[in-house]
Structure 1
């Protein structure tokens, strides 16, 4: 009997050993994960507990000193740029390797390799949009045109790879352990791919949806609901600007014929309305100390690890500090001893859709004018964890990749849509930031921007010499008025772009009389700008509130600028709520809480502070009202919905417009019908909320969440962050979007700088530096971000010598 028991226990032990040593479906092997010497326990140590005084890395020409301050911000002191960027690559990989690789795998359409078939459709779409193709073209462009930048990118790559080569199982980031894979070598291609990924995050288009709208509404009503310029246009470049160049003529065809296809497709993902970024600079004549002050807060998805990694980079000739993008060289938004700069998304239409007519089912040739042109075939082999490799074939035309065809999201066999996008054209954005990091004046700033193509950005500038400026930079196609707004015929040469706007003609301003420059994703210019300007997603509230405040303010301090970045005044509510209340009239409802809610709304001051209830009520009422107005509009083929600015204007100025009539209802409905329906829907929603949640203050209602890049890793996320703000406000912090980085810099004799972002320096969820900035960020507070000299011993966490 004792032998039976022994063998039974032995058999169970062997079975368990086999079980925990092998993956089960998508579950990783448990033995390595639980191993106390190599598993996740090793990821509970913070970086200061693992600090090394010296690290040997190859290919340095001189030792590099890295000083980590109390917040784990590295300050790299190198003797030349090659050593600097090699060290930047190594140090960034030390703290953000998994994030760097995961984001580039997402950009390359390779997430299925990690998580399995759940990501296959996402990977297919990513590859069909041509992000990897764009990075390949970009790398070839740099190889042929800029060997010096290539040397620096390769030095960065070498630094990353040297860290990977030293990486033990114990130090492997926990995400690799959970997902059961290991890092692969970094490359220059991956650094460029990361910048293409940012382009995809920031760009949007509505060509397909506008085409459907044009068929449904006709040109007249479409132009009324979607005007090219709003009634109140307060553009990025001041309206007083006089354009001092002769524009390149653009020939508009005498007649244009658009394809008449029914576009029943799922559109590409679009930026969320009301979220976005802010930047501005005020001249010394408006500040208390007589120095320019620059502020920047790009608003993006709130993720952990944070999108940004703060860093100082120093050589004997310059020192730069700010927010870096893990995987890319240099500082993206920051300052040096002479200048400061920041970025916001320029939201300018840079991609168009074309119908492709193939000669036959082989798709080897397509029609263009009177000719049949040969296509290229790109075979996309998508590895899928736990399954066979999926083979996708993408056809490329001179317009770009055929994203939608008979094999992908097309209900009709004869519909083929190609995407034309500046991302697919060779460019060198990396050089822009390398040069900007060491720029000394406005001329250097402009020279750096000449290399920048995509994604289009509003680059704000200020210098110690007193200059302030703004330039809207990107590679912008020359288009006739209306071109690119609708789906175009790829066989018609008249639909071609007619070149590109010269850099010297891109909208820009230097030292305007009003004493400030600013951008908040609004229209770039007014009607006087001589080139066609269009985008579907311009902002209409943050920009007007920002410019009003900057016009009013004088004797401005850094503290004033911090408060302005955290300003959560809701201009949309200030303009929209009185209209809703007026149209509601004496609407009678049986809800006992209706009067309570209405009184709370009437007494609200339009600030979306975290403890406010009025903001919650308005958010629900306005959303339900807008949904009621456009519900029938949205039933059918995909269409774009008029934005909230245009909707409020219609409610206010044209409440009896036929657009408010509901065809499925008897009689004729006006704006009042929808406002009352929206109010009743709010009452239903609030009854449910109060029964389940109780507290309906704004922070508890919107539940701001800073989510891990793998959504299922909820324990690595920060939920219900107590903070205010929201869509359309300067503090545009919603449930999943917000200020990904806040920076304020005063450019006096001694530069004063402050910055913060919602996360921490570490990419390791077990580190005390993983999310330690979140409470600071949520309260509108900042870290001191002044430049550090190598002699400064204050608040040093630890030092490392790379040699």
Structure 2
């Protein structure tokens, strides 16, 4: 332990030194931080060394038993739900308090309070998007419509707060000590805010960029480069699905005055490319044991502490296990004695922008049809550590907050844009998960989803009775074709959403003939679905690889499903590299290195395994080629998005001499081959630099997967250079900073068999041996046994605690 303490001290010193060189706010007083009785020394002990057999927890109606297994996964046994969730709050806070509070501070736009002015613009944008406003409405909705749910939230908060009240300065998580602040009481509002934060992480929009693209390319050019369906569409809901309902009518205005101006402004941050998820379920007729098998691996930022916290929650009526979201009640992705379920992002365009015409400089009224509607003002007081508070006035219309206006933009364009988003409406996602935790069949699964609004998710399902299902769930606006693809005139009432698609008519399927259901962030449906569906970020490779494998496989086992989650086959490279090599033609490789790279690329089997070198070469060559092709389009002042890789590769394959490849600023006419050659030249330059500075360019060393602490400056609390394969667009979608944040496979037999893993550990304390102990297993495609436990199953118990 003394050696560990020494290196822990060294890590803290490195973190502080880095923080001192990078603006992060005032460095805390060193004396309290180094105090052996209260400082970070107290954070060097792991949870098993601090375990107590009994703890007094107020407001319980009966004792609660908490059994920790060898991986520090708690199994909570309570006699009723209020006690269960009070204990869940307490136990989660024991291990993840700082993470819970930091994430809700981020969602509320309150990071400046703890790090100073460096976070001011981030906080301003967060507040202007209206996450806190949406949480206010969500809280009101629960109080008025679901008092039972609200009481359970209060029980959870009581558990968290009892833990906070028990903390001495010595017991504070180390991040509080470094950043020099203390935790606040937890509230139902914070739990609701956390779910709004997830919506913000997963939802994007490109209305402003598409507006610019339409002005630059014209309608025909836009349709050519950005088709709404790919040539090879393998949607979430199988194409054979027949829609046996009468859709609600959607009235398109006789004329739509689309804007023809380019907008020079900075769009909202979007989900990082490559962020996505996989889930699927196979029917018993395709499995070795005749039981349905479900798999789920949501892909998100790889962070420490992990986004997820594993636990089992048990009452006499139900027992559920899986991944919880610290700060929220119940299990988000998991299984119980009857069903299993999982989630992936449905990538639906759920945010639209409206141009607002104010009556005058006071902004007290805005034009709507033939009238002037009154605005509301929300004064956002942003407290800043070490400085006076910053006051920001945000104007609210009936559409939503005016995010961009005269007081918040980097340019001088006279434009005002309001954001309409389903997050700004009252909803009850927390009810969905608690009902799902207790559901017994497909009807219970559907009933739970009827409470779910945002973010849009693909919910996969399997049951012990043999059913498999998929439902794309969210509150989806009724839109006419192309509505919301470009920004709209807020003064025109005909631009309004015309209601919402009934939940029963959301895309769904039950027991399809093909014997499986699956999603990988691709198009949800084929063109036969009667409602308008659009998003800019659909996936085109993972889904096709997944569905091809599921169609081929028979006699499927749990081990097969684990292997499929860890599948490294690079379908994009398999389709693009032969085209690129053909277009490269008789390129004169005038160096030994160039010939070596070509040999490695030509002999590649298209698996992005960690020891392979060709994936690194392909990543650079394809990236530089795409950059060369679209540089002219994206280099102008008005922000745009470039065509996706699928469409670009299709153009390179089928129309290599198309005019889209020509660079207007040069006298000659360029083709796809010219860009491929320029890309290869760039590869040679990049590899010369890499080999001189880094040496080895095997895939794991090149992409350098890093699991980063939530405060990027705290590098000593991160894990770098994780040796693993995969990548964006691959089923094992492990990139440098994103990947499978949770992997789960469950066989729904007479005896349920389950396995799970995530890249982190149960503890949020960097000094604990349970902080990052899962990472090596996760990186190797290994899993933990995740079977349900009864109170009598004591094998492998680390310790247990009675809450009284």
| Shared fold (TM-score, shorter chain, > 0.5) | yes
* 2:674 alignment partner in structure 1: 673
Aligned to 2:597: 597
How far is the alpha carbon of 1:254 from its aligned partner? 1.4
Write the distance in 2 (CA, Å) between the matches of 1:478 and 1:792.
51
Distance 1:392 1:504, change over 3 A: same
Question: Are the counterparts in 1 of residues 266 and 410 from structure 2 also a CA contact under 8 Å?
Answer: no
Aligned residue runs from structure 1 range 321-400, under 5 A: 321-400=321-400
Contact 2:312 2:788 in 1 (8 A): yes
Deviation at 1:413, TM superposition (A): 5.5
Partner Cα separation in structure 1 for residue 380 and residue 270 of structure 2: 25
Asked if residue 639 in structure 1 is aligned to residue 628 in structure 2, the reply is no
Partner of 2:128 in structure 1? 128
Contact 2:356 2:490 in 1 (8 A): yes
Distance 1:235 1:413, change over 3 A: closer
> 1:565-623: per-residue Cα shift (whole Å, max 9, x none)?
00010000000000000000012243331111001000000000000001000000000
Within the alignment, does 1:277 sit opposite 2:255 as a pair?
Answer: no
| Residue 410 of structure 1, CA deviation | 4.8
- Aligned-pair distance for 1:324? 0.1
> How much has 1:242 moved relative to structure 2?
0.4
Whether 1:800 aligns to 2:767 is no
Aligned to 2:592, the other structure's residue is in SS state: coil
Gaps of 5+ in 2: 1-23
2:6 aligned residue: none
Match of 2:792 in 1: 791
Inter-partner Cα distance in structure 1 for 2:751 and 2:579: 49
Shift of 1:25: 6.3
SS of 2:171's partner is coil
Determine if contact 1:70/1:796 at 8 Å carries over to the other structure: yes
SS at match of 2:321: strand
Q: Distance in 1 between matches of 2:707 and 2:274?
A: 18
CA distance in 1, matches of 2:761, 2:130: 32
Task: Measure, in 2, the Cα distance between the counterparts of 1:599 and 1:87.
Answer: 60
**What are the within-5 Å matches in structure 2 for residues 151-190 of structure 1?**
151-190=151-190
**Distance in structure 2 (CA, Å) of the matches to 1:143 and 1:271:** 32
Q: Secondary structure at the match of 2:387?
A: coil
Q: Is the 8 Å Cα contact of residues 274 and 729 (structure 1) preserved in structure 2?
A: no
The CA distance in 1 between the partners of 2:219 and 2:52, in whole Å, is 67
> What SS does structure 1 have at the residue aligned with 2:169?
coil
Equivalent in the alignment of 1:717? 718
Residues 275, 728 of structure 1: 8 Å contact kept: no
User: What SS does structure 1 have at the residue aligned with 2:384?
Assistant: coil
Q: Which residue of 2 aligns with 1:76?
A: 76
TM superposition score normalised by structure 1 = 0.97
* Aligned counterpart, 2:469: 469
For the pair 1:318 / 2:318, whether they are aligned, the reply is yes
1:224-271 deviation digits (Å, cap 9, x = unpaired): 100010000000000000001100010011110023443111111122
- Contact 1:404/1:417 (8 A) holds in 2: yes
For residues 99 and 297 of structure 1, what CA distance do their matches in structure 2 show?
A: 22
Q: Tell me what 2:442 maps to.
A: 442
Taking the aligned partners of 1:548 and 1:672, their CA distance within structure 2 comes to 31
Equivalent position of 1:763 in the other structure = 764
- SS of 1:170 mapped into structure 2: helix
Deviation at 1:63, TM superposition (A): 0.3
TM-score calculated relative to the size of structure 2: 0.97
Matches within 5 A, 1:405-484: 405-412=405-412, 414-484=414-484
Q: Which residue of 2 aligns with 1:732?
A: 733
Q: Distance in 1 between matches of 2:421 and 2:260?
A: 23
Counterpart residue number, 1:539: 539
- Within-5 A mapping of 1:533-572: 533-572=533-572
> Paired residue for 1:696?
697
The answer for the alignment partner of 2:19 in structure 1 is none
SS of residue paired to 1:298: strand
CA contact (8 A) 2:321 2:335 kept: yes
SS of the residue aligned with 1:394?
A: strand
Following the alignment from structure 1 to structure 2, what is the Cα–Cα distance between the partners of residues 742 and 194? 22
Q: CA separation in 1, counterparts of 2:402 and 2:696?
A: 50
Conserved in 2, the CA contact under 8 Å of 1:404 and 1:410?
no
My pick for the range that moved more, 271-280 or 562-571, is 271-280
* Distance (Å, rounded) in 2 between the aligned partners of 1:150 and 1:95: 24
Cα drift, residue 708 of structure 1: 0.1
In 2, Cα distance between the equivalents of 1:790 and 1:621? 56
Offset from partner CA, 1:422-477 (integer Å, 9 cap, x none) = 00000000000010000000000000000000000000000000000000000000
| Matched position secondary structure for 2:480 | coil
C-alpha distance in structure 2 between counterparts of 1:25 and 1:367, whole Å: 43
Determine the C-alpha separation between the residues in 1 that align with 2:49 and 2:62. Answer: 27
Q: Say how many residue pairs are matched.
A: 781
